[in-house]
Amino acid sequence: MSEGTGISRRQFIKTSALAGGGLLLACHIPFGNRDAAAAGEASFAPNAFLRIGTDESVTVIVNKSEMGQGVYTSLPMLLAEELCCDWQKVRFQPSPVAPEYNHAQFGPIMVTGGSTSVRSEWERLSLAGAAAREMLIAAAAGRWKVGPSACRAENGVVLGPGGKQLSFGKLAASAAKLAVPREPRLKTGARKLLGKPLHRLDSPAKINGSAIFGIDVAVPGMLTAVIARPPVFGGRVKSFDASGALAVPGVKRVLAVDAGVAVVGDGFWPAMNGREKLQIIWEEPEESKISTSAMREEYARLSATPGLPARKDGDAPAVLSAAKKRFEAEYEVPYLAHAPMEPLNCFVDLKADSCLIRTGSQFQTVDRNAAARVAGLKPEQVTLETTFLGGGFGRRACTGSDFVIEAVQVAKAIKLPVKVIRTREDDMRAGYYRPMWYDRITACLDDKGLPLAWHHRIVGQSIIAGTPFESAMVKDGIDDTSVEGAANTPYAIPNLQVELHSPKNAVPVLWWRSVGHSHTAFVMECFLDELAHAAGIDPFQYRRRLLAKHPRTLKVLETAAKKAGWSKPLPRGHGRGIAVHESFGSFVAQVAEVSIDKKGQLKVLRVVCAIDCGRIVNPDTIKAQMESGITFGLSAALFGAITLKNGRVEQGNFHDYQLVRMQGMPKVEAYVIDSNEPPGGVGEPGVPPIAPAVANALFAATGARVRSLPITAEKISVALGKG
C-alpha cells in the first residue's frame, strides 16, 4: 500500500481487542456508560484517541485544554492526516482524566501548557492514525482477496483494484479482528491536511453560542457562591458576622473556607450582594504588608551582590575589570496578572461516593487529585470534565489547585451542586502573578564593537520553589524558568556570566504566558540594542553578526527585517525596533514601528513577525497565535503592572489594568517559515519579542531609552529629560 511505505516507527500500540463490534487499538475509551463510545454498535472505538461512527463520522478525543489556541483542530489534523479520512467528517471531543491521556513528555500527568500540545502529541496521534489506517486497508484487502499493497486509503474509504471501495465505517468491525501493526508506518510524500489553512472545528459552536465554558455550566438545583478573601496575602479570618448577608433575598448559606468566607445563593447576584453585607475582621500578618517600592529597593540592592551562577563562559568579571569602557544598565518589569477574559470558576456536584467537576482546567490530574483529597474520595471517584477555557495563560494550571479546592470545600459543606465564581477583582487582588524582576547588566565591547564580556544578574521570585516540581526543575538553587532566555542566549559572547537571586515574599507567583522568556527577552534584546548603538552599528546587522552559528534564529531575523522594510526611511517622529528570541522550540523575530505625537504619546503602528516553529500543522493557527501573543505582550508592555501598597494590590479590573483596545491595536503581519525541523510551540513564543521591539523602536524614534515596563508617557518624558 502506498501509505505504508515510509519510515518505520517504534511500537505504538501493544494489544488489540474486539469490543462491541468496534475497532479497538491500544486501550479502551475510559468514558463508562456516559459516552457514546461505549455504546457498542452505535460507534467504533479504534483507540483511546479515535472512534469511527457507523455514519462515517470520525471523532478525535483531545487530551489538551482548548483556550483559544486551536488544539481542537490542530490535534485532530495530526491523526486525520495519517488516517486518510474525510476531514468534513472529523469531530472532536475533550478527553476524560485517565492515564491514556497523560502528557507524552511530562510523565504521569494530564496538563496543557508550555506550548507543548502539538509537540508532545505529534508522534502519538500520527501513529494512532497510521495504525488504524493499516488495519482498515488490511481488512479491505482480505475481503477482496488481494494484497494490502494493491489498496490505498483516501478520504474515508479504502480503494482497491477495479474500482472497488469500502468506507471506513463498513470496515471497522472486520479490521478489529486483525493483529495490530507493531510498527505502523507513517505516510511519505505530499500531505493532504498538514500545512493547510483549515477552518477551526470549534468555531461554529463559539459563533452560535452553543459552546460551554466553565462559567456557563448550570444544572437544576445548582447554587452559586462567591468568597470574601483577605485583603493581604496570607491573611486569615479572625471573626465574621453573617447576619447582614443572610438577610439578603436569595442567600442560602454563609460559611468559612480556607480562602475566606463563602456566601452561597441561588444566583450570582444574590451571593455578591450578600458578600457586600458581610462584617469580617481579618488577621493581617506583618510580613504580608509589603509594598512594591520596598521590594524594588531590596531587588536593586541584591542586584549589586553576587548571585548563584546560572551560566559562566570565560571570565566576564575579569575582562570587565580590565576594560577601558563599560556599559551598565538596570532593567525592571513588574508583577503581572493573567487576567483571562473568563473569570475563574468551578462547578462541583459532590456525593458520598462520587464527585463531578466541570471547569476550565489546564491541570486536570493535579486538580482531580486535589479535589479527591479534599472530598475524602479516591481519585478514580472524581470525574473532571474540561469545558472550553475563556483564556488561561497559565492561571488555570495552578499547582495548588486553588479555585478547584475552594469549590469542593463549599460543596462539601452545603451538600448541594454549586458553582464558585471568582470575579475579576477577586483574582486580580488575591490570585497569582508573573513575578516582578530586576536585572543589572554590565558589558564591554571588543575592537569590532561586538560584546566581549557580559555580566548579568537577575533578581526575582522562583515560580517553582515550594511546588511539587521543585526537585525536578530547581538545581543548585537555580530555577531554570527564572533565567531561560538569558542563560541560554544564542548570541556569540565569549565571556558571559549570568547569576540569579531568588528572594522570597508573600506574593504568590505562577507561570505566565511565555514564563521566564517574558522578562529575559525584554532585557537581553534592549541591552543588546544599547550596545549596537554604542558601537555605531545598525541593530539588525549587529544581531546578524552575533548569530552566524544559529541559522534558524538568523532566518527569522532576516525575514522580519525584509518584510518590514527595515532600511526604508520613515517619517519624522517614527521609529523601527527589532528583537529576536527563541523559546519553546520556536524562533520568533519582530519589527515594531512606532510614532510619537506632539503630546508625547506613543503609538504602535505596525508589527511584522516571522516565526520558524518547525513542521507546520495549520498556518492559520500559527498566524493567529502570533497575533494573539503580540496583543497579549503589547498589553503588558504598554499598560501591565500589578503594584502593592501596605500589602494590598492596587489594581482590580480592566479600568486600571488595561489591555490594548481595538483603536490602539497595530497592524500585524505574521510570516511562517517553511521548515522540516521538529515542531515547536506557537502559543507562547509570540509574546517575548514584542516589548523589546517596541522599546527599541521608541529609542529609534526619540532617543528615549526606557528600561522599565510598562512604557508610559511619564517614563518617556523622564527619558527625554523633560520629567
pLDDT tens-digit readout, 641-668: 999 999 999 999 999 999 999 999 999 9
Cell numbers found for residue 668: 500585524
Those residues whose C-beta lies under 8 Å from the C-beta of residue 351, and which sit 6 or more positions away, are: none
Question: Could you tell me which CATH class the domain 2-207 is placed in?
Answer: alpha beta
The enclosing H or E element of 434 equals strand 433-434
The span from the first CA to the last CA of the chain, in angstroms, equals: 74
Cell of 522: 525584554
Please tell me the predicted confidence (pLDDT) of residue 25: 44
What pLDDT, on the 0 to 100 scale, is given for residue 723?
Answer: 59
Antiparallel, parallel or unpaired: β 418-421 and 327-333: unpaired
**CA–CA separation, 312 and 316 (whole Å):** 8
Q: Considering just the CA atoms, what is the radius of gyration of the chain in Å?
A: 28
CA separation for the pair 284, 462 (Å, rounded): 24
Residue scoring higher pLDDT (702 or 723): 702
What's the gap between Cα 592 and its chain centre? 23
pTM above 0.85, yes or no: yes
Does the pLDDT of residue 37 top 60, yes or no? no
Asked if residues 685 and 584 have their Cβ atoms less than 8 Å apart, the reply is: yes
Calculated CA dihedral for residues 94, 96, 98, 104, nearest 10 degrees = 20
Q: Which fold has domain 214-285+344-421?
A: Aldehyde Oxidoreductase; domain 4 (3.30.365)
Distance, CA of 206 to CA of 63 (rounded, Å): 20
**What's the number of CA atoms in the CB half-sphere (13 Å) around residue 114?**
13
| Average pLDDT of span 414-431 | 98
Is 92's pLDDT higher than 90?
A: yes
Which residues, 6+ apart, have CB-to-CB distance to 577 below 8 Å? 529, 539, 591, 592, 594, 692, 693, 694, 695, 696, 697, 698, 699, 700
Backbone angles phi, psi at 162, to 5 degrees: 65, 25
Contact 21, 173 (CB under 8 A): yes
Q: Residues 182-226: pLDDT tens digits?
A: 899 999 888 999 999 999 999 999 999 999 999 999 999 999 999
Query: What is the H or E stretch that residue 496 is in?
Result: strand 495-501
475/462 Cα distance (integer angstroms): 12
- How far is residue 236's CA from residue 281's CA, in Å, rounded to a whole number? 9
Q: Which three cell numbers stand for residue 30?
A: 475510559
pLDDT tens digits, one per residue of 46-68 = 789 999 887 899 999 999 999 99
Taking 50 as the threshold, does the pLDDT of residue 1 lie above it? no
Q: With 50 as the cut, is the pLDDT of residue 413 above it?
A: yes
With a cut of 50, say whether residue 313 has pLDDT above it: yes
How does strand 437-445 pair with strand 451-460? antiparallel
Asked if pLDDT for residue 22 goes beyond 70, the answer is no
> 3-state SS of 271-325?
HHHHHHCCEEEEECCHHHCCCHHHHHHHHHHHHCCCCEEEEEECCHHHHHHHCCC
Instruction: Supply the pLDDT for residue 177.
Output: 81
Q: What is the mean pLDDT of the chain?
A: 93
Q: Please, which pLDDT band fits residue 43 given cuts at 50, 70 and 90?
A: low
Class in CATH terms, 292-335+433-719:
alpha beta
Contact 342, 398 (CB under 8 A): no
pLDDT of 15 > 60? The answer is: no
Q: What is the pLDDT of residue 111?
A: 97
Do 431 and 358 form a contact (C-beta atoms < 8 A)? no
Q: CATH 3.30.365.10 in the chain, residues?
A: 2-207, 214-285+344-421, 292-335+433-719
H or E segment at 412?
helix 402-414
Q: Could you report the per-residue pLDDT of 101-149, keeping only the tens digit for each?
A: 999 999 899 999 999 999 999 999 999 999 999 999 999 999 999 999 9
- Per cent of the chain over pLDDT 70 is 94
CA 103 and chain centroid, separation = 15
Residue-wise pLDDT for 571-629, tens only, equals 999 999 999 999 999 999 999 999 998 888 899 999 999 999 999 999 999 999 999 99
Antiparallel, parallel or unpaired: β 355-359 and 382-386? parallel
